[in-house]
Amino acid sequence: MDELHHECGIAAVYHLPGAASVLGPVQGPQHVSRLMSRMLLDLQNRGQLAAGLASFNPQREKLLDTYKQIGTVIEAFRLNQKAKYESIMEEFAGPAAIGHVRYATCGATDRSYAQPFERHHGCKWKWFAFAFNGQLANFAELRNELLTQTDYHLTRNIDTEVIMHYLSHELSKWGDDRPDLVEVFRNLSRKFDGAYNLVFLNAMGDMVVLRDPNGFRPLCFAQDGNLFAAASESVALFNLGFKDVRSLEPGEMILVQDGEIRHERVALRQTPTHCFFEWIYFANVASTLDDRSVYLTRAALGQELAKQELQLGKVPLDSDTIVVPVPDTGKAAADAMAFALGIPSVEGLIRNRYIGRTFIEGQNRAERVQLKYTPLREVLNGKRVLLIEDTIVRSTTMKTLLHDLRERGGAREIHVRVACPPIIAPCFYGVDMSTVRELFAPRFMHGSRITEAEQKAMALELEADSLFYLPLEAVARCIGLDASRLCRGCLTGKYPTSTGEQLYQLSLRNHNGSVNGRTYELAAATPHT
């Protein structure tokens, strides 16, 4: 499908010494790890390929132990098989745990790529597990640097393993002394370029929750009495019962050590560049990210689309015209747009949420669309449809979807309205679009601003009656943040980090070339200039 994905979702939970929190599990602090599967369920939108946790328990022979499996959270933790679920929870019980849900922008789909990653060691502070969300833009450079060192070998071509080796290297610098984890992660922040929210847990019971200096991906935390928790999105914490949920500052880490919680800065303050896609596409609509509501942002996008529709005056807004969202992320924008225009917003497309990913990917494009979406002929027949899509990236299934709306749904006209500006450049910070050639808009656009003629050509290609995108300026306005505080690299071709700029130039050079592969992979074989 054309859906975008990124790596991934992370969570952490810790019950500090003392009386059990009212938010904790009924079995007591030693079973706080049970909360992890609940948290990961609320982060399932961020990854459905694999799920796992690593827990610490000083009363267990395996002080640190990791469980992970391929599949959704329900599948991985056997939530629909009570006896097996209880067995997993008992074996991995502990007062502290970190967790992860994965979608792979790179790497294989087998269990060895699932997170958390654990590194065993006889020394307790060198025995650790970690999970991360994002993508290191300078992955190729870091990987090559490792491989030039004596006897280093990497078994996976992914940045998770690179991070593990750099973590191990930093910890080894302390010899026989217990490391200062603030200094360890401060040193790593000087090496890493890109998006790397991270949770870390070692066999001493030390926990680290860290957000990268740019704050590309969201990361929230909360504390209630002795219970501390953190997650990629606020909804995972609100649903546990936490009331005061806050965003971790970019370049900041939380250290849980020796029964205390400390906030430490690991990088100098800078203007954050939050990924705008989090609000308009990726995040759970119930979440609040960096004090900005996802739902209200998407509703504001719909209001902007309504203003643009009235200015264009292309489509009659009469009783034959309806607004139809492409489910699910287009619904809030569609509802707000329809309300502003005074016409109905209806569910003319029903999404099947119960199709297994492996099954649907085994079909051809037309079958995938038909399996995933059912047009309602009773709603669409003879209607003029304003189809609200949150974004168009590759367009590989949009044409098939429009054909289905006409042939199976009976729509008379289909006018596509996109609640996002055109995607003209790749992402190097964790979204699975890393080359220019895979994108739809650059095939038609000849400048940084899309013209009406270019949108007309796009509509012709998709076999839509018309197509219009949201203007670039609307993104920051709808989120409620200044444009300087957002990463809009995929909309502008201007990136907030130096490696991002270098990778974009490399992608442009290969746009019309014969070399295939992700830009990260091309960078590994390209000398730096």
Radius of gyration of the chain (CA): 24
Distances (CA, A) of 444 to 191, 308, 516: 38, 21, 21
> How far is Cα of residue 173 from the mean position of the Cα atoms in its chain?
33
Report d(CA 84, CA 87) in Å as an integer.
5
Q: Strands 486-487 and 274-275: what pairing? A: parallel
Q: Which amino acid is at 456?
A: K
8 flagged as catalytic: yes
Main-chain phi, psi angles of 466, to 5 degrees: -165, 165
Q: Which amino acid is at 94?
A: G
Report d(CA 289, CA 94) in Å as an integer.
29
Q: Which residues lie closer than 8 Å to 447 by C-beta, 6 or more apart? A: none
Measured between its terminal Cα atoms, the distance across the chain in Å is 37
3-state secondary structure of 462: helix
Q: Which amino acid is at 116?
A: P
| Per-residue DSSP letter, 372 | H
Report d(CA 9, CA 290) in Å as an integer.
16
- From 465, 352, 524, select the one nearest 1 (Cα to Cα): 352
> Which of the residues 8, 106, 420, 487 is marked catalytic?
8
Query: Does residue 442 have a cis bond before it (omega within 30 degrees)?
Result: no
Query: Does residue 8 have a cis bond before it (omega within 30 degrees)?
Result: yes
Rounded-to-10 torsion of CA 171, 172, 173, 176: 100
Task: Return the exposure string of 434-456: e unless at least 16 CB atoms fall within 10 Å of the residue's CB, then b.
Answer: bbbebbbbbebbeeeebeeebbe
Q: Strands 220-224 and 207-210: what pairing? A: unpaired
How would you class 213 by CB atoms within 10 Å of its CB: exposed for 0-12, middle for 13-18, buried for 19 or more?
buried
Report d(CA 145, CA 133) in Å as an integer.
22
Tokens for 444? 């038609």
Look at the alpha carbons of 49, 139, 246, 96 in this order and tell me if their dihedral is positive or negative. Answer: positive
Q: Annotated active-site positions, please?
A: 8
